[in-house]
Amino acid sequence: MMGVGLAVAIFIDATLVRGVLLPAALAALGERLWPGARRASVRQDTEPVATGARSV
């Protein structure tokens, strides 16, 4: 019985929590969840860009 219960708990965790609830919560919270994301994107945009060099 203990093994069956553990298997069911792992199955529920893998499918419902990690497959449905967590991605939905991350999508709903968006940038509010990651307060440093806005600062990091601004910091990347302000870096100098090399001009005249071609990348192949």
Q: Is the pTM of this model over 0.75?
A: no
Alpha carbon distances (Å) from 20 to 1, 6, 12: 27, 20, 11
CB within 8 A of 26, min separation 6: which ones? 33
pLDDT in tens, 27-42: 888 878 777 666 655 5
Give the per-residue pLDDT at 30.
Answer: 83
Question: Who has greater pLDDT, 44 or 36?
Answer: 36
d(CA 10, CA 42): 40
Q: Which of 1-5, 17-21, 24-28, 38-42 has the lowest mean pLDDT?
A: 38-42
